[in-house]
Structure 1
Amino acid sequence: MNNPNQKSFPVSWDQFHRDSRALAWRLTSIGPFDAVVAIARGGLVPATIVARELNIRTVETVAVKSYDHQNQGGIKVLKEISQSILDMAKNGAKVLIVDDLVDTGSTARLVRDMLPGAHFATVYAKPMGRELVDTFITEVSQDTWIFFPWDLDVAYAAPIGGGTD
């Protein structure tokens, strides 16, 4: 979060679990899906929850790096989608792609190109990337930095209005 005007949106484990289940609920009318592809790392947790809720047993990953801690940089594929999933999709199987967030859309665009017919779902969406996903739960402004539960530790927070108590 380099911009002092940037908003902060911390998400607890409970909230993320509820939002991921809400995503699964929203996807029930679109499925059933034959496989889910989680975009690692952020999409691993919501994809697991969605796969459980929708009883999807074929779970795959694609590993894409587009962030360095809090700064978005170049995009790099670290692990490709397996050929068996690509073949399933080519043969008409219904594949679901899951990620935690669509931000600028660079990751979403790259993975969509790998699986053009897949349904793309994210828990959170920002305006610049929103058009690239088919289903999401919560939209946040582009200048909001989402702190996911795996990025946080319990610590003292100063009162908003100042002071120490």
Structure 2
Amino acid sequence: MSDVRAEKAFPVYWEQFHRDARALAWRLAGEARASGGFDAIVCVTRGGLVPAAIVARELDIRLIETICVASYHDYKSQGELAVLKGVCDRVANVRGGEGAGVLIIDDLVDTGSTARVVRGLLPKAHFAAVYAKPKGRPLVDTFVTEVSQDTWIYFPWDMGLSFQPPIREGAAG
């Protein structure tokens, strides 16, 4: 396993994440008009659960499935990828197979490892992520914000509320 923790921190709070996920839905609404719409959503767990719920509401998609792929095993190191749960046949074959008519949602496409696995299972699906890093960007069809590869995104579900002392108290004088 290699340590992938980045040097730059990008904390994303609930309000911002909700705005960004709605912005993704706006972009996807345009894609849906151009492509005949989406019949189902497959969210990549766990990070894709929240944006998938927001997109599903905004686009009125009711058929929602998960694909469970584990890569970050301790929040610090990315290891071997494992598909813990695949996509049911009903969703994978909604328009004749291979994910046609399916919208895949994830919070972030980072190195592209997870996206490659999911795309391999649903090659005709439309892949969307809220955030994209340069290495993973070619694997995603739609995204909202690109962040540098050396940035670690702290998502709202990864952070707790706690007091932070003022910078002046922690600064060396």
**Fold conserved (TM > 0.5)?**
yes
Report how many residues are paired.
163
Measure the CA separation in 2 of the matches of 1:39 and 1:86: 14
Match of 1:52 in 2: 57
Which ranges in structure 1 are unaligned for 5 or more consecutive residues?
Answer: none
Distance 1:8 1:141, change over 3 A: same
Deviations 1:37-83, CA, capped at 9 Å, x for gaps: 00011000000100000000110100000102122111000110001
CA RMSD after TM alignment: 1.9
| Structure 1 contact 89–118 (Cα < 8 Å) conserved | no
Measure the CA separation in 1 of the matches of 2:39 and 2:5: 44
Measure the CA separation in 2 of the matches of 1:53 and 1:146: 24
> What TM-score results when the alignment is normalised by the length of structure 2?
0.88
1:67 aligns with 2:72: yes
Identity of aligned residues (%): 60
Tell me, what secondary structure is at the counterpart of 1:138? strand
Of 14-23 and 84-93, more deviation after overlay is shown by 84-93
Match of 1:98 in 2: 105
Measure the CA separation in 1 of the matches of 2:59 and 2:163: 38
One-letter code of the match for 1:55? Answer: D
> What TM-score results when the alignment is normalised by the length of structure 1?
0.92
1:18 aligns with 2:23: no
Measure the CA separation in 1 of the matches of 2:170 and 2:112: 40
Tell me, what secondary structure is at the counterpart of 1:131? helix
1:153 aligns with 2:154: no
1:88 aligns with 2:89: no
Measure the CA separation in 2 of the matches of 1:146 and 1:36: 24
1:35 aligns with 2:40: yes
